[in-house]
Amino acid sequence: MTERPGNPKPRMTRIVKDKAIINALGFPGKGIEYSVQNLKKHNAIKSRIILSISGTIEDEIVECIKLANDFTSAFEINISSPNTSGLKIFQEPSRLRGLIEVIKKHTKKPIIIKFPPWNSFLDNKSEIIKMIETSLNSGIDGMIISNTHPRESKKIKIGKGGLSGKPIFTDTLKMIREIQAINKGFADIIACGGISSANDLWKVLASGAKAAQIYTSLVYEGPRLPSKINNDLIVLMKLAGITKLSDINGDPPKI
Ligand SMILES: Cc1cc2nc3c(=O)[nH]c(=O)nc-3n(C[C@H](O)[C@H](O)[C@H](O)COP(=O)(O)O)c2cc1C
């Protein structure tokens, strides 16, 4: 809601050889009023803006929704940053259900939940699947699978952060395939974690995702990356003889 300093620095480190990042930013920001002023300036492209909101207090999240409701096309609720103390309260299914219900009272815009990752190393799959089932039963419109993976690092002041970038892509793909089994088309899946090329995008779309979110590959490759990925995907689709994203299936064709 109000301005936040985030975690103490250093709070980000690049692992260049792996095209990865570990960050523990802890949501530094200028607050919702400042963000809403920015959103107002971009009202002409509102239909392409999804606002990401996170927080540890239900009332604060609701206040952000109320203030931003007219200036965005959908809300992403991030309950999965590993770097923000207190955020885990919304990973408890009844708290999550309550949060979604109260948000729905204040907006008709689509609600997308950004979930934490799971894998055999984290040993948390059943816990996260419960969160996802609760959210689907509460009528969410989309889910982001998933976020950074918790990792210890001596280069980060607080000693740990979230790993992002290429090393987490295999897990992203696996999670999407597992989620498709329980989702049954109720909510759209947005793939997130290590996506950096049209080949990666093809694989997540073929596994059931409807769209993708990228961050670390943008840091390494620069702002032209999204249009390069889109153009390369068109080339792959032409090679495969298809014209619709929903027809993407199997492995990407070899160039
Ligand atoms: C420096 C940095 C800051 C981030 N800040 C946020 C954030 O404020 N909210 C959020 O939901 N995710 C945040 N993320 C996570 C990314 O949105 C994304 O979920 C994650 O990095 C995995 O995708 P990637 O491998 O494409 O980076 C951040 C990631 C990085 C590297």
List pLDDT tens digits, range 82-125: 877 788 899 999 999 999 999 999 999 999 999 999 988 888 99
Q: How far is the CA of 219 from the centre of ligand 1 (A)?
A: 11
Ligand 1 touching residue 220 (CB < 6 A): no
What is the average pLDDT across 60-72? 97
Domain assignment present for residue 6? The answer is no
What is the average pLDDT across 177-201? 94
Q: How far is the CA of 242 from the centre of ligand 1 (A)?
A: 32
Q: Are 158 and 24 in contact (CB under 8 A)?
A: yes
Q: What is the pLDDT of residue 44?
A: 96
CB neighbour list of residue 147: distance below 8 Å, 6 or more residues apart = 78, 80, 81, 82, 114, 115, 116, 117, 162, 192, 193
For ligand 1, atom 2, name the residue with the nearest CA: 23
Ligand 1 touching residue 193 (CB < 6 A): yes
Ligand 1 touching residue 114 (CB < 6 A): yes
Q: How far is the CA of 240 from the centre of ligand 1 (A)?
A: 32
180/82 Cα distance (integer angstroms): 24
Q: Are 87 and 24 in contact (CB under 8 A)?
A: no
Domain assignment present for residue 247? The answer is no
Q: What is the pLDDT of residue 122?
A: 85
The CATH code of the domain that includes 196 is 3.20.20.70
pLDDT surpasses 80 at 183: yes
What is the average pLDDT across 44-68? 95
Atom of ligand 1 nearest to the CA of 29: 8
Ligand 1 touching residue 161 (CB < 6 A): no
Residue 238: exposure state from Cβ atoms within 10 A (0-12, 13-18, ≥19)? exposed
Domain assignment present for residue 204? The answer is yes
Domain assignment present for residue 60? The answer is yes
Distances (CA, A) of 229 to 187, 195, 218: 24, 10, 11
Atom of ligand 1 nearest to the CA of 214: 26
Residue 162: exposure state from Cβ atoms within 10 A (0-12, 13-18, ≥19)? buried
248/199 Cα distance (integer angstroms): 11
How many structural domains is the chain composed of? 1
Domain assignment present for residue 234? The answer is no
Domain assignment present for residue 3? The answer is no
Q: What is the pLDDT of residue 190?
A: 98
Show the domain range for 126. Answer: 12-224
Atom of ligand 1 nearest to the CA of 169: 25
135/15 Cα distance (integer angstroms): 34
Domain assignment present for residue 185? The answer is yes
What is the average pLDDT across 160-165? 97
Atom of ligand 1 nearest to the CA of 219: 31
pLDDT surpasses 80 at 1: no
Ligand 1 mutation pick, 112, 215, 220, 229, max ligand atoms within 8 A of CB: 215
* pLDDT tens-digit series, residues 192-219: 999 999 999 999 999 999 999 999 999 9
Domain assignment present for residue 57? The answer is yes
Q: What is the pLDDT of residue 120?
A: 85
Catalytic residue among 35, 54, 81, 135: 81
Ligand 1 touching residue 148 (CB < 6 A): yes
Q: What is the pLDDT of residue 137?
A: 95
Q: What is the pLDDT of residue 243?
A: 97
* pLDDT tens-digit series, residues 212-255: 999 999 999 999 999 999 999 999 999 999 999 999 999 999 97
Residue 157 has, within 13 A of its CA and on its CB side, a CA count of 10
* pLDDT tens-digit series, residues 68-83: 999 999 999 999 988 7
Handedness of CA 155, 169, 189, 235 (dihedral sign): positive
246 has catalytic annotation = no
